[in-house]
């Protein structure tokens, strides 16, 4: 008999606690990414899924953030070809999206992130 994995206790909870648990200086990067996402797409909904903040539109995945020991990721949902990346900052070629890996706030390409978040929102709204 197969057993189902336990449902995560934090599934669907508000995202504020995630940021409080992150160590500096990476917390600063995550907080800045959150500010950009919320300013570009103020109608996005957010909650914890798989231990990370996910931002959705009409229940459709738009972007997510993940914190690791030495870096953070901005995860962009949508076909990889949808995200213009002339400076080759994004990684991942899977059909589900691209990733931006950052290790410090000084690396954050704010204008590009705004554009990528707008693109991810457009894709989510079209689903």
- Structure confidence at residue 1 as a pLDDT band (50, 70, 90): low
Identify whether 1 is part of a domain.
Answer: no
Q: What is the pLDDT of residue 83?
A: 95
Domain holding 22: CATH number?
3.90.1150.200
What residue numbers bound the domain in which 118 lies?
A: 16-126
Identify whether 42 is part of a domain.
Answer: yes
List, for residues 82-122, the tens digit of each pLDDT value. 999 999 999 987 777 899 999 999 999 999 999 999 999 99
Identify whether 4 is part of a domain.
Answer: no
Identify whether 74 is part of a domain.
Answer: yes
* pTM, rounded to two decimals: 0.91
Q: What is the pLDDT of residue 2?
A: 67
Indicate whether 5 pLDDT > 70: no
Mean pLDDT on 18-31: 95
Identify whether 3 is part of a domain.
Answer: no
Identify whether 9 is part of a domain.
Answer: no
Identify whether 2 is part of a domain.
Answer: no
In SS3 terms, the chain reads as: CCCCCCCCCCCCCCCHHHHHHCCCCHHHHHHHHHHHHHHHCCCCEEEEECCEEEEEECCEEEEEEEECCCCEEEEEECCHHHCCCCCCCEECCCCCEEEEEECCHHHCCHHHHHHHHHHHHHHHHHC
Identify whether 8 is part of a domain.
Answer: no
List, for residues 35-51, the tens digit of each pLDDT value. 999 999 999 999 999 99
Q: What is the pLDDT of residue 96?
A: 78
What is the total count of domains within the chain? Answer: 1
């Amino acid at each position: 008999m197969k057993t189902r994995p336990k449902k995560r206790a934090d599934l669907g909870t508000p995202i504020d606690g995630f940021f409080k648990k992150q160590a500096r200086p990476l917390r600063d990067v995550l907080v800045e990414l959150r500010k950009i996402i919320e300013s570009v797409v103020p109608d996005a909904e957010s909650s914890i899924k798989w231990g990370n903040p996910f931002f959705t539109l009409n229940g459709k995945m738009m972007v997510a953030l993940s914190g690791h020991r030495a870096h953070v990721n901005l995860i962009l949902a949508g076909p990889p070809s949808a995200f213009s990346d002339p400076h080759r900052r994004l990684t991942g070629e899977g059909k589900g999206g691209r990733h931006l890996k950052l290790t410090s706030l000084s690396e954050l390409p704010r204008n590009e992130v705004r554009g990528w978040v707008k693109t991810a929102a457009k894709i989510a709204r079209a689903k």
